[in-house]
Amino acid sequence: RNHTSQGVSGQYSVNNQPVVLRFGQRQFAAAHLTEQPQAPDEQGLWLLLADAHQALAWFKINDAPRKGLCHTISQLKQHGYELHLLSGDQANNVSELARNHGISHWHACQSRGSRSR
């Protein structure tokens, strides 16, 4: 099942007992856990796989900017546009992308609903 802007969940059976897995942002995947696991310190987008009892694994997602991004940003700035970067990604990743591309206005951890405002 897709949980928009949070992750996905699924269920399977082991010995006729349901096992639910959740994969996505830490807040979603570990929402039912008593102890919230911490993502590794290495910079990047980290997604968590968890079951009802524990965190099972962390996955690092590398998302490179599209080809031609620098040229597009340059062209938009030359035409007088003020650029804003809105992302569902974590603040450290968004700030780095914005800094590397000369975008001074950025917002991280945005959900679909918060981006439409």
What is the full per-residue pLDDT of the chain (117 aa) written as tens digits? Answer: 888 878 999 999 999 999 999 999 999 999 999 999 998 888 778 899 999 999 999 999 877 888 999 999 999 999 999 999 998 777 888 888 899 999 999 998 887 665 544
Q: Tell me the CA distances in angstroms from 21 to 3, 4, 14, 16, 33, one per residue in order.
A: 13, 16, 13, 16, 12
Burial of residue 50, with CB atoms counted within 10 A of its CB: 0-12 exposed, 13-18 middle, 19 or more buried: buried
pLDDT at 59: 95
* Contact of 86 with 115, CB cutoff 8 Å: yes
> Can you give the pTM of this predicted structure?
0.62
Which among 1, 56, 63 is positioned nearest to 26, based on CA atoms?
Answer: 56
pLDDT at 44: 74
Q: Which residues contact 109 (CB under 8 A, 6 or more apart)?
A: 88, 89, 90, 91
Q: Which residues contact 40 (CB under 8 A, 6 or more apart)?
A: 46, 58, 60
